[in-house]
Copies of this chain bind each other. A is one copy, B any other.
Amino acid sequence: MLGLMMDRQLTLATLARHAERNHARREVVSVTADHDRHRYTFAEALSRARRLSNVLTRLGAADDARIATMAWNDFRHLELYFGVSCSGRVLHTINPRLFAEQLSYIVNHADDEWIFFDIAFTAILEKIAPLCPRVKGYVAMTSQAHMPAHCTLPNLHCYETLLAHESDQCEWPEFDERRASSLCYTSGTTGHPKGVLYSHRSTVLHSYALALPDSANLSALDGILPVVPMFHVNAWGYPYAGMMVGAKLVFPGHRLSSPELLVDLISEEGVTIAGGVPTVWLPLLDYLRSSGRSIAPLNRTVIGGSACPLAMIEEFRDKHGVAVLHGWGMTEMSPVGVVNSPTSANICLTGEALAAQVVKQGRALPGVELKITDDDNRELPWDGESFGALKVRGPWICSEYYRLDGVSQAHGADGWFDTGDVATIDADGYVKITDRAKDVIKSGGEWISSLDLENVAMSHPAVRECAVVGMGHGKWQERPLLVVVAAQAIDKAELLNWFEGKVAKWWIPNDVLEVESLPHTATGKISKLELRRQLSAYRFPDDQA
């Protein structure tokens, strides 16, 4: 028997209408190439989003056209978020930092009809445009006065000129909430980038869950600064959730890596919450230390993307009164899966117990189901010690990749998505990521976390940088090898002794190898793939096989 409730669909147009009616006067503040500090209201933003929908129709964009953006965080990108998706079309946010061959691959793979871009990215697009013949045209997200000169892009339009010629009268159509709203490609280490196609339903549900008190805790009193780019999984969902609750939106534009600008925006625009990856916050904290400036309005930051170091959490908390909400998610998860917010069982922790608690990634948002499994896909207990492959399930998690040749299904036969991370989960549901699955060391059928071993090694004064990798071993299949760049003279036996009492005895690496330097990826992370290649001839001294 079905319930007798209205069959209203969860769409971004409904969310936008809610904002228009209830938060018409709320502000959106942006830094752009052509505005030092642009400001207008939600009502104006959504009025222009409606104009934009009319522009797309005028340009002949299909009802379900993929419309690409290559743009920073600002008001025009926000207009595209709503103007494209509310009209039923699909917003494809492109990461301009990808290599040219990846860019042309995803534009062609997505079958993008139009590309809207910040003029800073003109040269990149000029390079790939000849490789993307099906793109119908390009729209520079600026005013006529700032249009790029001598531009070779075919069928080039000016965003402000297009908008100026349209009416803001546009009734967004009603449709199935499962309709696609936006598309984001995730670039793995191997193979082509894979497209994750969000729906209106998944985006609206993710917005509700993100705004909950135990997630980002978003209200009409907040000012949100999404430092995470709008081309990264919809800026973690902040533009949608902020619009839903009527929070002020503050966008740093192309200057998102200027700590001075971020501090200006926080102070002057009353930013209460900011979100970004740890590498954004390091220079900000440096700048605060050297300038002595304050970030008084800010009371919390959501930090994800990679594990947030304890020192950063403590500096934010103890020097600036800012609570760091550690989080974890993936492009395939819209992206937020877990956030580390307190419960009554742990809010009073102090000292080491607190430190151990805050470095956990957090507990699942309602709607996200988690499990950890062993190699035989048996579920492991939530005891904070057993660690296994972290798998997830829920209405804002990817079921298949977009138009992937061959196997497109993203989840396993059991319907769960394997995140590729290895984690423990404690009795209260807090997840701690222990490793990427491909870096876990499999010793005698048991797993060893390379991350945990690296953390112990890094706490030794003689170690400047290190990596632990699993190397083949005749008896144990794999054993951990500690590879070290020394800060001072190293005594192997003494260094291995350092692990005693800090990890299980059988986790202690079998050997230490000193190297001049470690190989790094383009983004500055240690490349374990390359390291294993370099060490292919290595044999453990104790390997009798």
Tell me if A345 counts as interface (CB < 8 A to partner B). yes
Contacts of A343 on B, CB cut-off 8 Å? 23, 26, 220-221, 246
Separation of A429 and B217 alpha carbons in the complex (Å):
21
Q: Which residue of B lies closest to A62 (CB)?
A: B1
Q: Which residue of B lies closest to A203 (CB)?
A: B3
Name the distance in Å between A277's Cβ and chain B's nearest Cβ. 24
Tell me if A382 counts as interface (CB < 8 A to partner B). yes
Question: Are B245 and A180 in touch, CB under 8 angstroms?
Answer: no
Contacts of A26 on B, CB cut-off 8 Å? 343-344
Per-residue B-contact encoding for A120-151, CB less than 8 Å = 1, 0 else: 00000000000000000000000000000000
Separation of A222 and B333 alpha carbons in the complex (Å):
28
Q: Which residue of B lies closest to A88 (CB)?
A: B1
Question: Are A6 and B411 in touch, CB under 8 angstroms?
Answer: yes
Tell me if A533 counts as interface (CB < 8 A to partner B). no
Question: Which of under 10, 10 to 19, 20 to 34, or 35 or more describes the interface residues of A?
Answer: 35 or more
Kindly identify which residue among B3, B23, B25, B176 contacts A178, using a CB–CB cutoff of 8 Å.
Answer: B3
Question: Are A5 and B219 in touch, CB under 8 angstroms?
Answer: no
Name the distance in Å between A282's Cβ and chain B's nearest Cβ. 30
Separation of A359 and B3 alpha carbons in the complex (Å):
34
Separation of A382 and B344 alpha carbons in the complex (Å):
42
Contacts of A219 on B, CB cut-off 8 Å? 212-214, 217, 341
Question: Are B1 and A64 in touch, CB under 8 angstroms?
Answer: yes
Tell me if A200 counts as interface (CB < 8 A to partner B). yes
Tell me if A51 counts as interface (CB < 8 A to partner B). no
Kindly identify which residue among B214, B221, B334, B428 contacts A342, using a CB–CB cutoff of 8 Å.
Answer: B221
Contacts of A208 on B, CB cut-off 8 Å? 205, 208-209, 212, 366
Mark out the residues of chain A between 1 and 48 whose CB falls within 8 Å of any chain B CB in the assembled complex. Answer: 1-10, 14-15, 17-18, 21-26
Question: Are A213 and B209 in touch, CB under 8 angstroms?
Answer: no
Separation of A8 and B396 alpha carbons in the complex (Å):
9
Tell me if A394 counts as interface (CB < 8 A to partner B). yes
Separation of A417 and B8 alpha carbons in the complex (Å):
12
Q: Which 4 A-B pairs have the closest CB atoms?
A: A3-B199, A22-B429, A213-B219, A208-B208
12 new A-B contacts at CB < 8 Å, known A21-B382, A26-B344, A214-B219: A5-B399, A6-B415, A7-B399, A8-B367, A8-B369, A212-B212, A212-B213, A213-B213, A214-B246, A220-B341, A220-B342, A220-B343
